[in-house]
Amino acid sequence: MKNEFQVIADLIEKDKKVLDVGCADGTLMKFLKDNKNINIRGLEISKEKVQECIAKGLTVIEGNAEKDLKQFPDKSFDYVVLSQTLQAFLNPELVLDELLRVGKKAIVTIPNFGYWKVRFHLLFKGTMPITKKLPDQWYNTPNLHMCTIKDFFHFVKSRDIKIFKSLALNNLNTSIINERNLGVKNLFADLGIFLIEK
Amino acid sequence: MKTEKNIKTLIVKKPLKLDCGKTIKEFPIAYETYGSLNSKKDNAILVFHALTGDQFVTGTNPITNKDGWWSYAVGPDKAIDTNKYFVICSNVIGGCMGSYGPSHKDPNQKIFGTNFPVITINDMVNAQYNLLEHFGIDKLFSITGGSMGGMQVLQFISNFPNKSKTVIPIATTSSHSAQNIAFNELGRQAITADSNWKDGDYTSNETNPGKGLAVARMAAHITYLSKKGLQEKFGRKLQEREDLKFGFDADFQIESYLRYQGSVFVDRFDANSYLYITRAMDYFDLAKQFGGNLSNAFINTRAKFFIISFTSDWLYPTQENKDIVIALNSIGADVGFVEIESDKGHDSFLLDVPDFLSALKNFLDKSYEED
């Protein structure tokens, strides 16, 4: 399991109720179910991935986060997880509002467009950055709204969203992001993980 | 109508009060089972059949000598694995494969015909509940069925919230739509317009409204397929001829196919049963039973739901299945949902659709492994 999922799992206490939005093949769900006795649900848009989740014995709803989160009542999950997908929605603002309505807390991870490799790529090659976290070409990327750790940090602050924890990931290194080190983390982390609440 | 050998029957002694107000008692329920009930009695699956189905889910139907209606899904090593699970299915009341219906005789030894009480989906499941007592099963492992079978699944878990661990409604609805009612009415009108119907008293008149019933079946059959499926299978292909004949014979293969479907149906189905069962479907509105709030139908159950729809099913489209998912999510129920890609229309659930069958198998087997 990738390091990101380990960090997410460490943020969640045992026996909680969790919704994994865009749960893909259910790797994180399975881990949370087996190791933390989490009552876990998934929402996934891809039919193939839904089938993979069912084969793992996971409860998954085929659906689209932009349309289908509204069926869940307010604060019906302890945590709602959104891993590296916020930038792919037509309306990330609306999705974030929905995550915070449905979940008591939300865990959102974002691929960082401020990562030094991304910046170097654009600066020196003059073409759209391609990195491990951003593997697609400009014409076929699902990412519509790329942002940096700094962007997201400012965005949640401006929306009165409470940040419980913000973590920077660089390969296997995890460190805490705060107002003072924001500039540095924004340069050296390829992924930001935010535990937030509204 | 048919011989009653090969039909297992449970005579229900307990009176059953029907939604129409009448009470029936000492009535037969015809059923069949597959696989064996284990000693813990925790491996039973109750399957509910659709409009024209019967208790013969798989293997060879001893009455028609054709494959059981869900042979693709049920059997040894299949999605519903009879090596592992004990499958029970019964003919609905109002039906014509041995359960109490309009072709039975009333206490005065006269065939009921349209004097049989109008039954509902609720009545059907209340009648079938007696099978649990008969087999000494306290809690089923699963209940499942497609189309009208799915309606019975929803009604059953609503009526008996603790009686099944898992619940799998397939290609169904919680409320029959105007379009659904319209198609059923078309079928009923075809039957009652047949002069051989004789106000439902055709048996004592030694006639049979076969033409009307065949037309009803033909119209309904179209609704079970998709436009794309029909086009790919038949297109404008001609039936055993080089060119159009400028007449009203079956020039096109699709015409010949529908005529064949109509004619074989008449051999195995009772016209009055068709009226009764379609009426039961039309009356089905689970939300209405709970003050307009579908969620309340499921408020008392802790069962694990898995809902399945098909992309090309326009009779019970994905959105109607999703409405059930939404109602369950809004009360925090344990519900999974998948829409299966298939161009085989509503009939997809009866056919060899690998993604559907593997989803069904995985859900059942994984749920059975848990505790």
Is A124's pLDDT higher than 80?
Answer: yes
Question: In the 3-class helix/strand/coil scheme, how is B278-294 assigned residue by residue?
Answer: HHHHHHCEHHHHCCCCH
Burial B136-165 (b: 16+ CB within 10 A, else e): ebeebbbbbbbbbbbbbbbbbbbebbebbb
Q: Residue B184: name the closest of B53, B317, B279, B313 by CA.
A: B279
Domains, chain B: 8-177+286-369 (3.40.50.1820), 180-278 (1.10.1740.110)
Residues of A whose CB is below 8 A from B363 = 54
Question: In this complex, which of B331, B336, B355 lies closest to A59 when CB atoms are compared?
Answer: B336
- CB of A184 within 8 Å of a chain B CB? The answer is no
Q: Give the Cα separation of B306 and B365 in Å (integer).
A: 13
Residue B218 to residue B233: CA distance in whole angstroms: 16
pLDDT recorded at residue B370: 87
Instruction: Tell me how far apart the alpha carbons of residues A108 and A81 are, in angstroms, rounded to a whole number.
Output: 6
Q: What is the pLDDT of residues B250-277, one digit of tens each?
A: 999 999 999 999 999 999 999 999 999 9
pLDDT in tens, B111-141: 999 999 999 999 999 999 999 999 999 999 9
d(CA A150, CA A192): 9
Nearest-5° Cα angle at A162, A157 to A163:
85
- Is some CB atom of chain A closer than 8 A to the CB atom of B370? yes
**Would residue B342 show up in a list of annotated catalytic residues for this protein?**
no
B142 is catalytic: no
Position B3 pLDDT exceeds 60: no
Least CB-CB distance to B337: which of A57, A62, A76? Answer: A62
Give A172's pLDDT tier (boundaries 50, 70, 90): confident
A63 to chain B, any CB pair closer than 8 A? The answer is yes
Q: What is the arithmetic mean of pLDDT over B209-215? A: 98
Q: How far is CA A177 from the centre of its chain?
A: 16
Distance between CA atoms of B59 and B98, rounded to whole angstroms?
18
What average pLDDT does this structure show over B196-219? 97
Using one digit for the tens of pLDDT, what is the confidence trace for A57-79?
Answer: 999 999 999 999 999 999 999 99
Q: State both tokens at B81.
A: 């694995």
Count of CA atoms in the C-beta half-sphere (13 A) of A131: 20
Chain B residues within an 8 Å CB radius of A72: 329-330
Predicted local confidence at residue B88, as pLDDT: 98
- What is the rounded CA–CA span in Å between residue B157 and residue B167? 8
- Give the torsion sign (CA, B260, B211, B180, B91): negative
Take residue A71 and report the two structure tokens written for it. 């069926």
Residues 313-342 of B with CB under 8 A from A: 325-326, 329-332, 334-341
Mean pLDDT of chain A: 96
Residue B331's closest chain A neighbor by CA? A73
Report pLDDT digits (tens) over B139-197.
999 999 999 999 999 999 999 999 999 999 999 999 999 999 999 999 999 999 999 99
Question: What are the tens digits of pLDDT across the range B336-354?
Answer: 999 999 999 999 999 999 9
Confidence of residue B1 (pLDDT cuts 50, 70, 90): very low
DSSP assigned state of B200: G
Please, what is the Cα angle at B98 between B131 and B147, to 5 degrees? 70
Task: Tell me the mean pLDDT in the region B47-71.
Answer: 96
Contact A55 B358 (CB under 8 A): yes
Give, as one character, the DSSP assignment of residue B252: B
> Is B313 assigned a catalytic role?
yes
Q: Could you say which of A50, A71, A73 has the minimum Cβ distance to residue B338?
A: A50
Token pair recorded at residue B244? 């159009």
CB pair distance less than 8 Å for A54 and B336: yes
CB contact under 8 A, A54 and B338: yes
Secondary structure of residue B176 in the 3-state scheme: coil
Catalytic residue among B81, B164, B312, B346, which?
B346
Q: What is the pLDDT of residues B294-326, one digit of tens each?
A: 999 999 999 999 999 999 999 999 999 999 999
The answer to whether the beta carbons of residues A104 and A80 sit under 8 Å apart is: no
**Catalytic residue selected from B81, B251, B313, B347:** B313
β-strand pairing of B44-47 with B86-90: parallel
Asked if the model's pLDDT at residue A169 lies above 80, the reply is yes
Percentage of chain A surpassing pLDDT 70? Answer: 100
Judge whether B242 is closer than 8 Å to chain A, CB to CB.
no
Residues of A in contact with B338 (CB under 8 A): 47, 50-51, 54, 60, 62
Largest alpha-carbon pair distance within chain A? 49
A–B interface: beta-carbon pairs under 8 A: 56
Q: A54 contacts in B (CB within 8 Å)? A: 306, 336, 338, 359, 362-363, 366
Asked if residue A13 has pLDDT above 80, the reply is yes
Q: Which residue of B has its CA nearest to A39?
A: B334
Full 3-state SS string of chain A:
CCHHHHHHHHHCCCCCEEEEECCCCCHHHHHHHHHHCCEEEEEECCHHHHHHHHHCCCEEEECCHHHHHHHCCCCCEEEEEEECCHHHCCCHHHHHHHHHHHEEEEEEEEECCCCHHHHHHHHHHCCCCCCCCCCCCCCCCCCCCCCCHHHHHHHHHHCCCEEEEEEEEECCEEEECCCCCHHHHHHHCCEEEEEEEC
- pLDDT, position A171: 82
A161 touches chain B (CB under 8 A): no
Residues of A with CB below 8 A from B311's CB? none
With cut-offs at 50, 70 and 90, classify the pLDDT of residue B4.
Answer: low
- Work out the end-to-end distance of chain A between its first and last CA atoms, rounded to an integer number of angstroms: 29
Q: What is the gyration radius of the CA atoms in chain B, in angstroms?
A: 20
Find the CB nearest B338 among A41, A62, A71: A62
Flag if A55 and B366 touch (Cβ within 8 Å): yes
Q: What domains are defined for chain A?
A: 3-197 (3.40.50.150)
Which of B336, B355, B369 is the closest to A61 by Cβ?
B336
Q: Which residues in chain A have Cβ-Cβ distances shorter than 8 Å to B367?
A: 57
B91 pLDDT tier (thresholds 50, 70, 90): very high
Hey, are the CB atoms on A54 and B340 less than 8 Å from each other? no
Lowest mean pLDDT among A16-20, B63-67, B349-353: B63-67
